[in-house]
């Protein structure tokens, strides 16, 4: 059934491509695309993993993606600002100027946060068994996962602050390169804006996870392509999809290299080979979902126990008697001994709300992103709202691995992230100018 799943997904990809008017970053096209990539990796490894994909899994994934597509198509009933700019027309973008002293402020604050986080990293690593040799990040990760240790509230808030700085200066850097019109010229003239991003990257490295780099890669992709579409006109840009594919391929290569190096730093690549690490992380979720659908007897006891972690956490902190479950799911072992605890986003939806609930959620998420994306196109501006969309749209990239939409909905992390993006945007971006 694996190859049949690939055939169905490839057909849906083509269908969503033409329904979305050949838009390679429409929410539906991306959703089908990421499931196709994960499924492809899973299928080519099925024999090595000694696993199979059932007809039930094929049906569930197909129905889920169709429901998402219907949701996006339904967004057309929403009328958004009839006086908005015509998205078919090219709009001149302006170079963003950030005073040098503000760049230094951002960089200095970032370095202070890196220093504080490193001191806490050493403490966490010690709890995890670190004695001065070995992979310090690996020991810190052990402390967080197995000993219930944490970074602490202060470090947590400071992480979000560096995230806000990193995302805003990524936006500035991408915008100004597109303004210059030439990659190497734009990179040389705007490399100063990379300075505040360095502490953000160091913070993400010390966090021991790799999701931050997936978010940064996805955000850079969305910011660059959407700004480029605004600059060239959406309809004209859609005719130049080959260029977009090259850009996406370069970013994917950059992410691939970063993913590998982070695995080296945290010691994860000592467990699996390089090929296995990529394969299990990218395609293991499809096999895990199949195992869950075919074998699991686990049923949801508390409403939203696997999806509403973030919302429940806030209610709990406000004094309500709400049980907050562990966001991490149980590990599942393949027949050849490999293991994973990611099951695609669908597992969480099915576990908490059943099959009908999963279909409804997929429809509503498709509707949400359809309306949000339509708003971005209608406004036709590269500004704060675009940064927020690029941040939220990470959920589209991650859905074939795990959910990062409902689990963080109105969570502390989401609220703080968006808050600091807004604050940093308002503080650091004072004016725009155009060289005439």
Q: Which of 48, 43, 47 is nearest to 4 (CA)?
A: 43
- 251 pLDDT tier (thresholds 50, 70, 90): low
DSSP-derived 3-state class of residue 432: strand
Q: Give 434's pLDDT tier (boundaries 50, 70, 90).
A: very low
60/96 Cα distance (integer angstroms): 46
In this prediction, residue 265 has a pLDDT band, given cuts at 50, 70 and 90, of low
pLDDT in tens, 172-227: 999 998 888 777 778 888 889 999 999 998 998 888 766 777 788 888 889 988 98
Domain ranges of the chain: 2-433
Q: What is the pLDDT of residues 378-388, one digit of tens each?
A: 888 888 999 99
Residue 94's SS3 state is: coil
With contact defined as beta carbons under 8 Å apart, do 69 and 362 qualify? no
The three-state secondary structure class of 102 is helix
Which tokens is 32 given?
A: 């089908």
pLDDT of residue 297: 62
Whole-number pLDDT of residue 435: 45
Where is average pLDDT lowest: 96-100, 270-274, 389-393? 270-274
- Lowest mean pLDDT across 232-246, 259-273, 413-427: 259-273
pLDDT at 49: 83
96 bridge partner residues? 432
Tokens of 370: 């359809």
- pLDDT score recorded for residue 436: 37
* pLDDT value of position 28: 95
Instruction: Examine the pLDDT at 274 and tell me if it is beyond 70.
Output: no
Tell me what percent of the residues of the chain surpass a pLDDT of 90: 34
Three-class SS state of 96: strand
114 closest CA partner among 171, 196, 191: 196
| Predicted local distance difference test score (pLDDT) of residue 333 | 79
Q: Evaluate whether 167 touches 196 at the Cβ level (below 8 Å).
A: no
Query: Smallest Cα–Cα separation from 195: which of 107, 132, 312, 257?
Result: 107
Q: What is the pLDDT of residue 250?
A: 65
Beta-strand relationship, 339-340 and 332-333: antiparallel
Residue in 35, 22, 25 with CA at minimum distance from that of residue 62: 35
Indicate if the pLDDT at residue 374 is higher than 60.
yes
Dump pLDDT digits (tens) for 26-77: 999 999 999 999 999 999 888 888 888 999 999 999 999 999 999 999 988 8
How far apart CA 411 and CA 414 sit, in angstroms, is 5
CB 300 within 8 A of CB 351: yes
Residue 367, pLDDT above cutoff 80: yes
Predicted local confidence at residue 257, as pLDDT: 60
Block residue for tokens 């001994």: 337
- Cβ atoms of 179 and 93 within 8 Å: the answer is yes
The pLDDT of residue 393 is: 92
Q: What mean pLDDT do residues 119-141 have?
A: 82
The better pLDDT of the pair 110, 235 is held by: 110
């Amino acid at each position: 059934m694996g190859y049949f799943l690939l055939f169905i997904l490839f057909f849906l990809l083509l269908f969503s491509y033409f329904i979305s008017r050949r838009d390679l970053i429409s929410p539906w096209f991306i959703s089908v695309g990421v499931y196709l990539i994960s499924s492809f990796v899973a299928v080519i490894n099925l024999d090595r993993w000694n696993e199979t994909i059932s007809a039930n899994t094929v049906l569930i994934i197909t129905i889920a993606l169709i429901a998402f597509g219907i949701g996006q198509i339904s967004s057309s009933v929403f009328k958004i600002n009839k006086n908005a700019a015509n998205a078919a027309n090219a709009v001149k973008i302006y170079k963003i100027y950030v005073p040098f002293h503000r760049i230094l402020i951002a960089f200095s604050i970032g370095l202070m946060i890196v220093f504080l986080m490193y001191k806490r990293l050493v403490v966490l690593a010690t709890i995890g068994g670190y004695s001065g040799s070995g992979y310090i990040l690996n020991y810190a990760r052990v402390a967080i996962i197995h000993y219930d240790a944490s970074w602490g509230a202060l470090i947590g808030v400071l992480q979000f602050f560096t995230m806000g700085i990193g995302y805003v200066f990524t936006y500035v850097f991408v915008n100004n390169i597109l303004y210059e019109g030439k990659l190497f010229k734009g990179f040389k003239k705007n490399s100063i804006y990379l300075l505040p991003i360095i502490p953000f990257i160091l913070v993400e490295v010390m966090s021991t996870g790799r999701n931050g780099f997936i978010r940064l890669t996805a955000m850079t992709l969305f910011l660059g392509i959407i700004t480029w579409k605004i600059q060239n006109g959406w309809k004209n840009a859609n005719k130049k999809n080959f260029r977009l594919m090259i850009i996406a391929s370069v970013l994917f290569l950059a992410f691939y290299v970063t993913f590998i190096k982070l695995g080296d730093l945290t010691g994860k690549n000592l467990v699996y080979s390089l090929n296995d690490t990529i394969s299990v992380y990218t395609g293991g979720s499809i096999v895990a979902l199949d195992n869950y659908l075919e074998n699991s007897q686990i049923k949801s006891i508390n409403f939203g126990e696997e999806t509403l972690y973030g919302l429940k956490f806030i209610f709990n902190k406000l004094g309500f008697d709400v049980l907050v479950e562990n966001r991490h799911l149980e590990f599942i072992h393949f027949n050849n001994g490999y293991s994973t605890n990611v099951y695609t986003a669908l597992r969480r939806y099915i576990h908490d709300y059943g099959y009908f609930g999963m279909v409804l959620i997929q429809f509503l998420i498709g509707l949400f992103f359809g309306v949000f994306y339509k708003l971005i196109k209608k406004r036709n501006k590269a500004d704060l709202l675009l940064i927020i969309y690029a941040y939220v749209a990470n959920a589209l990239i991650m859905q074939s691995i795990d959910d990062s939409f409902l689990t963080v909905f109105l969570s502390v992390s989401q609220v703080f992230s968006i808050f600091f993006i807004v604050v940093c945007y308002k503080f650091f971006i004072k004016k725009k100018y155009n060289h005439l």
